[in-house]
Amino acid sequence: MKDISHFQHKIYNKIMEIKGSNYLQDKGNKVRSPFWVLVEKEITAAIHSWKFIILTTLISLIFIASVYVSLESLGKIRDLVGGEKFHLYLRLFTASELSLPPFYIFLSFLSPLLGITLGFDAINSERSGGTLISLLSQPIYRDSVLLSKFLAPIILIAILFLSITFLLIGVVILLTGLPISPAEFIRIFLFIFITVLYVSFWLGFGILSSIIFQQPSTSALFCIGGWLFLIVFYPFFINLFIGTFYKGLMSVNEKEFMEVTHNILTLQRLSPSQLYNDATTTLLTPTIRSLGPLSLEQTYGAIPSELSIENSVIIVFPQITALIAVSISFFAFCYYKFMRQEIKG
């Protein structure tokens, strides 16, 4: 703190200069909104974090492996489908060898981890590092901090998925010379949109956990517990529950069987992972005409053709709206908790 008076004098001369120049009203894009400054900070921090680098590398490697396996198996599938319409680019996401599941199945496991990784220490690490109080003592709104914690990872994930998808399309065009049809492109784009929505849900879950728990480790454990419950244990409990109530499932008539299956599906759809699986499977497989059990009467007379994009979207519309609703609900709850929380120095 040398020559204090000299520097103080310089600083306050500068204040007068700045105040005189009316700089805050400058429309020359030189002063940015603090919210976008925070978003930029979050994106930079995430890109440089090891957890993000590791998960992105993992997803990219799985993507390359899945695409390689898909390309290898495409010949066999081509022979099987014969003269039917062959969606090369959609098959890249859904085709698989027995040794490696298709990419969209991998994503249904890895997307939650990506969301959790980017959210579990969003608030509590700032609090324990002493940066939250410094940040909130600046002239910014408290909700800007939370919104930037939510928006920045979503932007990052959307860019990541779009990049690897466009890269894939480009590589396959180079290898095969076959162009992508607009319908395939829209379906793939919708698939990415739903995946980002799904990650948003888990991101919201992670951020909520980071608001509730003071320690990042506790928050991470809670998130992993939630992930395991919804992905592994919840479907298991549903089957156990249904099995208890409908013991003689195999002996019931068709109507009762349909009812039981419908109930199982309804309960399973309380889990966002089931909603995601339903939506992505339908969008990436145009031949899927229904997401529930069909009776013989219902299938009688149906034309075994593919669905248009509009029809596929109509089928998964409830799933998409439910995913949007659950993501917004989690964010709203995060908002409520964070805005009412005491910030201590």
Partner 1 sequence: MCDPVIEFKNVTKKYSNYIALNNLNLSIQSGEIFGLLGPNGAGKTTIILMLLGLSECNSGFINICGSPVIHRSAKAKQLIGYLPDNVGFYKNLTGRENLELICKLNKIESGLIPHRVETLLQMVDMEKFANKKTSTYSRGMKQRLGIAQALVKFPKILILDEPTLGLDPSGVQELLTLVKTLNERHGITIIISSHNLEQVQKICHRVCILICGKIKAIGSLETLAAGLGANNGFQTFIRWQGEINIPLSKLSKIIKSIEPSISIEWGEDHMVVNSPVACTPSIVEVCINNKIAVEEVRSNHLNLSDIYERHLPLPTQNL
Name the site residues for partner 1 (rule: CB under 8 A). 1-5, 7-12, 14-15, 18, 23-24, 26, 30-32, 34, 37-38, 41, 45, 48-49, 129-141, 342-345
- Cα dihedral 143, 144, 146, 152, rounded to 10, equals 160
Q: Which two tokens stand for residue 276?
A: 């995601």
Q: Which two tokens stand for residue 175?
A: 């290898």
Name which of 182 and 345 has its Cβ closer to partner 1: 345
Shortest spacing between CB 147 and partner 1, in angstroms: 14
- The CA-CA-CA angle for residues 238, 230, 245, to 5°, reads 10
Name which of 45 and 328 has its Cβ closer to partner 1: 45
Longest dimension (CA), the chain: 93
Name which of 91 and 127 has its Cβ closer to partner 1: 127
Name which of 18 and 314 has its Cβ closer to partner 1: 18
Q: Please tell me the distance from the alpha carbon of residue 5 to that of residue 287, in angstroms, as a whole number.
A: 78
Name which of 304 and 345 has its Cβ closer to partner 1: 345
Burial 77-113 (b: 16+ CB within 10 A, else e): eeeeeeeeeebbbbbbbbbbeeebebbbbbbbebbbb
Q: Which two tokens stand for residue 43?
A: 């994106």
Shortest spacing between CB 156 and partner 1, in angstroms: 16
Shortest spacing between CB 32 and partner 1, in angstroms: 6
Q: Please tell me the distance from the alpha carbon of residue 345 to that of residue 342, in angstroms, as a whole number.
A: 10
CA 97 from chain centre, in angstroms, equals 25
- Cα dihedral 36, 38, 41, 46, rounded to 10, equals -100
Name which of 121 and 184 has its Cβ closer to partner 1: 121
Shortest spacing between CB 199 and partner 1, in angstroms: 23
Shortest spacing between CB 257 and partner 1, in angstroms: 55
Shortest spacing between CB 118 and partner 1, in angstroms: 15
